[in-house]
Amino acid sequence: MNTSLLSGLNPPQLQAVTLPLQSALILAGAGSGKTRVLTTRIAYLISTGAVSPHALLAVTFTNKAAKEMVTRLSAMLPINTRGMWIGTFHGLCNRLLRAHFREANLPQTFQILDSGDQLSAIKRVMKALNVDDEKFPPREIQNFISGSKEQGLRAHEVEAYDPYTRRKVEVFAEYDAQCQREGVVDFSELLLRCYELLSRNAAIREHYQERFKHILVDEFQDTNPLQYQWLKLLAGKHNALFAVGDDDQSIYAFRGANVGNMKDLLRDFNVEAVIKLEQNYRSHGNILDAANALISNNSNRLGKNLWTAEQGGEKLRVYEAPTDVEEANYIVSEIKQLQSEGLKLTEIALLYRSNAQSRVLEHALVSAGLSYRVYGGLRFFERQEIKHALAYLRLMENTDDDNALLRIINFPTRGIGARSIEQLQEAARINNTTLWDAAARAGGKVSNFVGLIEALRQATKDLPLPEIIDHVLAHSGLIAHYESEKTSPSKRREAEERLENLNELVTAATLFVHENEDDSLTSFLTHASLEAGEHQAGDQDDALHLMTVHAAKGLEFNAVFITGLEQGLFPHQNSQNVNGGLDEERRLMYVAITRARRRLYLTFAQSRMLHGKVNYGMASSFLRELPEELVHWLSPRQVARNPFTAFGYSAPSSAVAAPVQRTVSGTGWRIGQRVMHQKFGEGMVTGVEGSGPDARVQVNFKHAGSKWLSLEYAKLEAL
């Protein structure tokens, strides 16, 4: 064996790499070198003769991770990595099905449908079954079929308690039959068909169980139930499953990931070797201590505590802004300061919980002339749903805009097919007119579309800009379309984000009105085009990284801003309605914190404009879970107020303000002021009305909701 393979490994890493043939769970904390451990484990097994390169199986979640593993192995050992069984779940299942196509009841040349091809196939089935595509949107059917397969269910196994679900099951069954006739499979089918092949064919199953004595899995916390069952089949009773993962970084429940698979592994495989990789090679000590303190509030953890040989470093910097716009402006000023200290833009990341939050940040960056790149996503004005909404507005403003018409004539679906659009284009060409003129002379569903646009123009002609956009979103069918997509578990999160973005478009219009003398729809559309067109940096440019926390997993930066830390935003309000939702949000915050190497900023706003209206919020509950000694407040604080009082910490008696005295001449309260009520607890003033004995305030209480209180009897105390 090449002894240099093991050089530089810390004791837990060395223990994991050199384990004998046994199942193990490697709890690999953020920045603890898990990829190195996994790759070195493979190299160790090969170099010691425990296994040949072609007799082990390594599963990753992305092709990029699989390629990186193969590249590292090639550098470690003089072996030919071609043909090694290293790949994604889908890639490895495809390989197995190609080798056993007859037993899997597939043609040798079976083809794989991508998402677009699958949707087209479903539309053909729906047309053949005479299924109303308005009552049953094809994408909803697509999500239903894929979601069922990912749970390991065929059409006849899906429980259908109502006529609506039974109709979807009918489409599911006919779609599967059509795919079988045509010799094609979709992505979800790859794993399900492979699982069925192994479970039903003992000879094939035993062959691979005999071959793959060592099965290694990366990011095990992200496996769904079917993927785990597939792994169990391959492992059998005697093979070793070497799983590397981190339950504290399980953040993909919306994709079907089941963090419970980790505890199931311990039980199902009688795992005795649980090795914790806790030494972090990325971040300073204060950052890790904050992450540890936060995640300790989660229940049912397998348990680990990150540490580093680095010094404590800087405290976490917390900034409370009066508004979301001022939050963005503060971030811009800090970025410029970081630049002056020699930090490159590419070493800085701005993280947010929801994509819709990027718009106000993008606007501030554009105004400051700072280059940025939206990682794993699109700039705000380039997102699909925003471009759809803008297309409606463009067509209302200028009916000669053929591109806008083509984008929305059948979105949301209104039964205008490709043939009808071709006929429309041909008529416009022959008569040398715009598509709108041709559509105005058409009948049927095209005529209904023309009527819709005319109705939108008429209804909004005298409305202010934000109300125009609000009306169009509601009456074009866009909101209803994305609301319907929320019914699918696999599409719910994406649909919610698209709806949040559409709401943010109303906010963008509201701010545009405040900032510009010309607040016409034409000017706003011009503004949107300009912001969409120029500012995304190229791949090689020095540019800031903007991304959601989900997209940031696996990345690291010298300086990180976690923005929008308000209750209902992060943690997201939807987490309150899902069992274990708050725990997952806390894991997401843990991931965000551990992206930072040297400096971490946490920012939030007292007020944030949502759907064109100012909303007053409470600071995120996660802030109170950070130890006070690790946090440095940068924003100016109110006189006689301990900064932690607002988040539930005990304040020194000298810092507690006396009850405010009511006066006839004024209320003595201001909007945004935090208060305490004897019965309802902590809250924030969101409205003030009247004066003298009749004065009253509206308070948004943390645990009791919004209430109007008479100042004469309220017994409020200022915080």
Q: Which are the catalytic amino acids?
A: 34-35, 218-219, 249, 595
Give, for 546, the enclosing helix (H) or strand (E): strand 544-548
For residue 412, cis peptide bond before it (omega within 30 degrees of 0): yes
Please say whether the beta carbons of 22 and 273 come within 8 A. Answer: yes
Single-letter residue type at 493: R
3-state secondary structure 45-99: HHHCCCCCCCCEEEEECCHHHHHHHHHHHHHHCCCCCCCCEEEEHHHHHHHHHHH
The single residue listed with the structure tokens 């094809």 is: 138
Q: How far is CA 646 from the centre of its chain?
A: 29
Give 669-674's long-range contacts (Cβ < 8 A, gap of 24+). 669/697, 669/711, 669/716, 671/616, 672/322, 672/606, 672/607, 672/616, 673/718, 674/646, 674/718, 674/719
Distances (CA, A) of 313 to 282, 435, 626: 12, 63, 16
- Give the number of other CB atoms < 10 A from CB of residue 2: 13
| Closest C-alpha among 321, 167, 283, 220 to residue 594 | 283
Distances (CA, A) of 455 to 445, 460, 667, 700: 15, 9, 47, 39
What span, in angstroms and rounded, lies between the C-alpha atoms of 380 and 37? 39
Dihedral of the CA atoms 671, 672, 675, 677 (nearest 10)? 60
Tokens of 15: 């223990």
What is the DSSP code (8-state) at residue 569?
B
What is the DSSP code (8-state) at residue 354?
S
Report the half-sphere exposure of 490 (CA within 13 A, side-chain side).
15
What span, in angstroms and rounded, lies between the C-alpha atoms of 96 and 271? 28
Give, for 28, the enclosing helix (H) or strand (E): strand 24-28
Dihedral sign for Cα atoms in the order 520, 525, 526, 532: positive
Residue 456: strand, helix, or coil: helix
What span, in angstroms and rounded, lies between the C-alpha atoms of 123 and 232? 36
Q: How far is CA 417 from the centre of its chain?
A: 33
Q: How far is CA 679 from the centre of its chain?
A: 37
What span, in angstroms and rounded, lies between the C-alpha atoms of 509 and 463? 13
| Closest C-alpha among 468, 481, 524, 473 to residue 503 | 473
3-state secondary structure 617-667: CCECHHHHCCCHHHEEECCCCCCCCCCCHHHCCCCCHHHCCCCCCCCCCCC
Tokens of 108: 């040798």
Tokens of 424: 């429309």
Distances (CA, A) of 241 to 6, 72, 265: 21, 21, 9
